[in-house]
Amino acid sequence: MARFDGQPILISGAGRGLGEGIAKHLAAEGAIVGIADIHGETALQVAEAIIDDGGRAFSYGADCGKRDEFMQLAADFAKDAGPLRAVINNASVLVYEPIEQVTEETLDTMLSAGLKSVFWGVQAFLAHRDENQQGNILNYSSPVAYRGRPNTGAYTTIKAGIAGLTKVLAGELGPRNIRVNAIAPGSVPTPATEGFVTAEQYEQRAKNIPLRRNGTPQDVAQAAAFLLSDEAAFINGAMLAVDGGIIAAG
Q: List active site positions.
A: 155
What whole-number distance in Å separates Cα of residue 121 and Cα of residue 139?
10
Tally of residues, the chain? 250
Distances (CA, A) of 57 to 32, 47, 81, 146: 5, 5, 9, 35
Rounded CA separation 20/188 (Å): 13
Tell me, what DSSP letter sits at residue 89?
Answer: E
Q: Are strands 56-61 and 86-89 parallel, antiparallel or unpaired?
A: unpaired
The string of DSSP letters for 20-36 reads HHHHHHHHHTT-EEEEE
